[in-house]
Amino acid sequence: MKIMVTGGAGYIGSHTVLELLKAGHEVVVMDNLSNSSEESLNRVAELAGKKAEFHKVDLLDAPGMKELFEQTRPEAVIHFAGLKAVGESAEKPLWYYKTNVAGTLNLLDAMEAVDCKTIVFSSSATVYGEPEEMPLTEKINMDAQSCYGRTKEHIEDMLVDLAASDSSWNIALLRYFNPVGAHESGRIGEDPSGIPNNLVPFIAQVAVGRREYLNVFGNDYPTVDGTGVRDYIHVVDLADGHLKALDFVAKNGGLRTWNLGTGNGYSVLEVLHAFEKACGKELPYKIVDRRPGDVAVSYADPSSALADLGWSAQRDIDTMVADHWNWQKNNPNGYEG
């Protein structure tokens, strides 16, 4: 199949492009490179033995998006492009709504104009907000607690309305839990700009000597050791979930929503200790105040993805952090170095 991957130069996008190429698909990447580097795609080509076609286009450039779709005529889209920092979204809400929501509208218009009606969308477990019940099933109502999360809710709502209006659309909404790790080669991985917001990239920078210690945000949660518990998922398992979801909706039609998580929760200190084992050294940390907006525990019920797609995460927490460390130690300054 000819597949357009928006945001394909980014972290999850680049890993997915690699799996698509390996599976024999023809891949076109569009990305404005605002949070990524084309070097990720050079390395994907090296690993796959073939290249994805690349176009530097901005989601907000509506005529440019139309032209791109008319020129490339993909049969399906995997839509990763967008902004993802929770804190930044509170400071720049209009920028987040514009990029994520208006950008997705431009994409859908461009798709419709060439009769491309199959899309897999990167949603997030963050749409669940702070529900009491665990694990999180797809049936729980969306109640995002951040501007970033609400942009994901708006896009999901838009896609639900679109599917209801026209049954020829095939749509997968994928709610990811906490993506970590890297391709086993250590050639591609997560390369955050500035200070990492997320736990594992931060720990990796402590391990490689770019940061002095980890701040652990709170140790008084009702969890195994008082620190926050999350469902970490290996990025290659996540990429594989996209191929299976695309295949399913392309064959069966309609709109479907799936959680992509492992179903297991690990605390901050458990992740830190797993990383220490992977890198073979002790990593300093300090307990600081809770981070506003954080929930105590979040983990998936991934049984729908297993039942419908035959998908389940294959890589455990030790593999996740070992692969993340392999990427970080080989690329201490990310793609720049």
Q: Could you list the residues that contact ligand WQD (CB under 6 A)?
A: 84, 86, 124, 126, 178, 197-199, 202, 214-217, 228, 230, 268, 291, 294
Amino acid sitting at position 163 = A
Of the two residues 48 and 102, which places its CB atom closer to ligand NAD in the complex?
102
Q: Closest approach of Cβ 280 to ligand NAD, in Å?
A: 26
Inter-residue contact 277 to 323 (CB < 8 Å): no
Token code pair at residue 232: 């970490």
Count Cβ atoms within 10 A of the Cβ of residue 190 and give its class: 0-12 exposed, 13-18 middle, 19 or more buried: buried
Q: Closest approach of Cβ 262 to ligand WQD, in Å?
A: 14
Candidates 25, 27, 28, 36; binder of ligand NAD (CB under 6 A) is 36
Can you state the percent helix, strand and coil of the chain, rounding each to 5? 40, 20, 40
What's the per-residue H, E or C state across 64-121? HHHHHHHHHCCCEEEECCCCCCHHHHHHCHHHHHHHHHHHHHHHHHHHHHCCCCEEEE
Region at 133 (left for phi over 0; alpha for psi -120 to 50; beta for the rest): beta
Candidates 74, 103, 261, 265; binder of ligand NAD (CB under 6 A) is 103
Q: Closest approach of Cβ 244 to ligand NAD, in Å?
A: 17
Q: Does the active-site annotation cover 213?
A: no
Q: Which one of ligand NAD, ligand WQD, none is in contact with 35 (Cβ closer than 5 to 8 A by kind)? A: ligand NAD
Residue 203, φ and ψ in degrees, nearest 5: -60, -40
Interface mask toward ligand NAD for 108-127; x: CB under 6 A: --------------x-x---
Q: Closest approach of Cβ 174 to ligand NAD, in Å?
A: 8
Q: DSSP labels for 33-63?
A: -TT--THHHHHHHHHHTS--EEEE--TT-HH
16 near ligand NAD (CB under 6 A) = no
Candidates 3, 9, 110, 214; binder of ligand NAD (CB under 6 A) is 9
Which residue is at the shortest CB distance from ligand NAD? Answer: 10
Q: Of residues 11, 96, 128, 148, which has the active-site annotation? A: 148
Numbers of helices and strands, H then E, in the chain: 12, 14
Q: Closest approach of Cβ 185 to ligand WQD, in Å?
A: 24
Token code pair at residue 95: 């920028």
Q: Which one of ligand NAD, ligand WQD, none is in contact with 248 (Cβ closer than 5 to 8 A by kind)? A: none
Of the two residues 60 and 224, which places its CB atom closer to ligand NAD in the complex?
60
Residue 320 Cα distances to 52, 153, 179, angstroms: 26, 28, 9
Candidates 3, 4, 5, 13; binder of ligand NAD (CB under 6 A) is 13
Q: Closest approach of Cβ 220 to ligand NAD, in Å?
A: 25
Using DSSP, state whether 282 is helix, strand or coil.
coil
Query: Between residue 44 and residue 63, which ones bind ligand NAD under the rule CB under 6 A?
Result: 58-60
Of the two residues 157 and 166, which places its CB atom closer to ligand NAD in the complex?
157
178 sits in which H/E element: strand 178-180
Binding site for ligand NAD (CB under 6 A): 7, 9-13, 31-36, 58-60, 80-84, 99, 103, 122, 124, 176, 179
Positions marked active-site: 148
